[in-house]
Amino acid sequence: MADANAAYLDHFDLDVTLRDAALDEHNRPTRRMIANAAIGMHVEDAYFSVRELREAVGWIHEGEAGGKRKLASILSNPTGDDYQRCIYFCLAGRGVVEMLDDLMWLEDLLEARGRIAGDIHRRKVKARPLVPPYVADEPDGPIVSGADDFRQGRSWWADPGLDA
């Protein structure tokens, strides 16, 4: 029976849930954007990058020391990738609570994707090759300043989603 099931899982698409989320009209536009941005990203890199970004934004929201330094470091890292900046700027200015909600949502999707990747690897099922969405590992163009004394705009304090 295991061999019969393997035929259905041959070349499993690890991005299928991200593709579905990106096309789901019931998802907020920001969720659709960040799901699209994660398609093709390496399984572990995508998850840990989003987790790190969510932690930094959460620290700032909670008033934790070092939160702004961490976010500035992520956005200004000259050896970092554009993926984290892409995710951040898809969500920037939308309200910190909504931003955190979307980051946690994506983190959950990416964690499940990683668990599935591990499971199919253990079963020796082939995964469809991920097509990296970025053509270079280094940032392309100007990056954000690394100063951790950046001004937090209105979106950090007034969340339109909380008015309802």
**Pair 123, 63: CB distance under 8 Å:** no
The pTM score is 0.84
**Pair 81, 49: CB distance under 8 Å:** yes
What is the full DSSP assignment across 69-135?
HHHHHHHH-TTS-HHHHHHHHHHTTS-HHHHHHHHHHHHHHHHHHHHHHHHHHHTTPPBPPP--S-S
Query: pLDDT digits over 32-83, tens only?
Result: 999 999 999 999 999 999 999 999 999 999 999 999 999 999 999 887 778 9
Higher-confidence residue: 65 or 148?
65
| Spans of all domains in the chain | 29-149
